[in-house]
Amino acid sequence: MEGKGLIGLLERRRSCRRFTAEKLDRATVDRLLLAAAGAPVGSNRNEDIHITVVEDRAVLDELAVAMRRRRQDAADLRLITEKIPDRNVAVRDGFDPFYGAPVVFFVSHRRQDLQPGIEYSNVMSVAMMMHLQATELGLGSVFMWGSLEAMRMYPEYDRTELLRLPEGFQPLLGLAVGHPAADAEPRELAPDKFGVNRLPE
Ligand SMILES: Cc1cc2nc3c(=O)[nH]c(=O)nc-3n(C[C@H](O)[C@H](O)[C@H](O)COP(=O)(O)O)c2cc1C
């Protein structure tokens, strides 16, 4: 039986890696940005977060180069796991880390050392709201870490400047969003997915 409320939404949440060519209309993009605004940020330092909405395929292609380069490293092929079959298809067909999504939201954080490491939690807080909103709207979405990490690993292919970020900001997480190419069945959630211990035992 399908769950209700948030659990029902989470049963439909999944990473989507196949999209139709249909673009997202402006109202939908704005709705996702509105959902992002519902995210809590550490110490309420909202000014440390910046979102870039990229619908420019040429920019995405440039941002993908470091990731393609990284894929050429045989050692990295072990990251392409059987667990993610859609990803394997994308690799076989010539890798696009954005899976042809019509829009990618990049969440950037101001470089800071006031609270070391909190930037990763903050960008996930924001991106997760958009991921859940996309799910609720029947859209597909998937987080984008690898392509940004690859640009840090291969500085010669780092095209971060194309995002035209304010000074001092660094893109740490993306969310590719589009219309899913296929319907997906809800998945039942299991409370033992993660290890849990309880105190007192
Ligand atoms: C922090 C984070 C970064 C991720 N980065 C990528 C990525 O770069 N590319 C990708 O295809 N999937 C990425 N994913 C998606 C995960 O692979 C996916 O969530 C996981 O395999 C579980 O699948 P599900 O989301 O369908 O439950 C990322 C997920 C998280 C939480």
Q: For residue 81, name the pLDDT band (cuts at 50, 70, 90).
A: low
The answer on pLDDT for 72 being more than 80 is no
Contact 90, 99 (CB under 8 A): yes
Give the pLDDT confidence of 162-177 residue by residue, as tens digits: 999 999 999 999 999 9
Q: How far does the centroid of ligand 1 lie from the alpha carbon of residue 199, in Å?
A: 30
Domains observed in the chain: 15-178 (3.40.109.10)
pLDDT of residue 89: 44
Per-residue pLDDT averaged across 52-77, rounded?
Answer: 84
pLDDT of residue 71: 76
Whether 146 is in the pocket of ligand 1, judged by its Cβ within 6 Å, is yes
Whether 14 is in the pocket of ligand 1, judged by its Cβ within 6 Å, is yes
* Average pLDDT value over all residues in the chain: 91
Per-residue pLDDT averaged across 41-55, rounded?
Answer: 98
